[in-house]
Amino acid sequence: MYPLKFKPILKERLWGGKKLKEVFGKASISETTGESWELSTVQGDISVIANGDLADNSLQELIEKYPNELLGKSVVDRFGKEFPILIKFIDAKQDLSIQLHPNDQLAKERHNSFGKTEMWYIMDADPGAELIVGFNKDVTKSEYAKSLESDSLLDLLNYEKVKEGDTFFINTGKIHAIGAGVLLAEIQQTSDVTYRVFDFNRRDKDGNLRELHTDLALDAIDYKKKDDFKVDYSKESNAINSMVQCPYFKTNFLNLTQSMVQDTLKRDSFTIFMCVDGEAKIENDFGQVIVNKGETTLLPASSKKIKINTTGVKLLEVTI
């Protein structure tokens, strides 16, 4: 099974823009494309293979036929025949809504879903662009509820200026929002459960306010001020630099100026590469693929060796 590329699933969003087309060359015909889902088995949005002999088969079909070969036995033992993570690129022309995600237990009880732990890698940011991550002080549930009633929630939130290369880990329960002017790569658990708590009183194209999930969010929020979200990682050239190691995914940063070979015989997990800058030819025992900035490839767990041929590329390497 060779390195697989997939047809991007483009999502129109009230807050989206044109960078996914202009910067990455995604096939958008809209001026409000907010997301490119690169790898997904979310119901209704299942990725379809774009290259090679397996083209036009879905990722889910491949998992059903070759679970251990594609995912890895240890991954199948944990998650069954479900792809455990969702990979996206996001373009925020406007501020996203302020939101949070429930943990696994709440998500299972309420939505028969996984929770949503995620991470962001900033690929580009307009001058002054920022994120909202967590609270600026410890708050109580009643203080939070009162801030919604008085339209003063923004006064309780923590704002972070961002630049290219900044990385953030967003655990479940943490209130957050992507700010206007940010283009990023997102790695998350396979889940589309989001609790929206404030949307700047915006209206959609039909003049309607978007749904809020005020009551659901109350018991899902972490009300403590925590400085646990900014990821401090090495950017050493031609090395495997660890970024995030959590129960749901592991992400490394590869800043390569020359080719690299990895022995993956004992990895027992698929490998994803998100190209966040430059270009590389990535190959395993069965084939090769070229990835450019804003593209993603999936290599099966059966890959015994992975070779990255490049003179300049920055990659996010994701495994389980």
Catalytic residue, candidates 13, 78, 196, 267: 196
Record the tokens describing residue 291, joined without a space.
């990835």
Question: Would you state the pLDDT for residue 202?
Answer: 86
CATH match for 241-319 among 2.60.40.3880, 2.70.70.10, 2.60.40.3080, 2.60.120.10 = 2.60.120.10
Q: What angle do CA 179, 17, 184 make, to 5 degrees?
A: 50
Question: Would you state the pLDDT for residue 201?
Answer: 86
Question: Would you state the pLDDT for residue 210?
Answer: 87
For the stretch 287-298, pLDDT in tens is 999 999 999 999
For the stretch 236-292, pLDDT in tens is 999 999 999 999 999 999 999 999 999 999 999 999 999 999 999 999 999 999 999
What is the C-alpha separation between 111 and 188, in angstroms, rounded? Answer: 17
What is the C-alpha separation between 172 and 40, in angstroms, rounded? Answer: 20
Q: Alpha helices, DSSP H only, in 119-183? A: 141-149
Buried b (16+ CB within 10 A) or exposed e, 35-53: bbbbbbbeeeebbbbebbe
13 is known as an active-site residue: no
pTM over 0.75: yes
Domains 9-218 and 241-319 share a fold: yes
Q: Which CATH superfamily is domain 9-218 in?
A: Jelly Rolls (2.60.120.10)
C-alpha of 295 from chain center: 13
The residues of the chain scoring below 50 in pLDDT are none
Question: Would you state the pLDDT for residue 204?
Answer: 78
Question: Would you state the pLDDT for residue 260?
Answer: 98
Domain assignments of the chain as residue spans, ordered by start: 9-218, 241-319
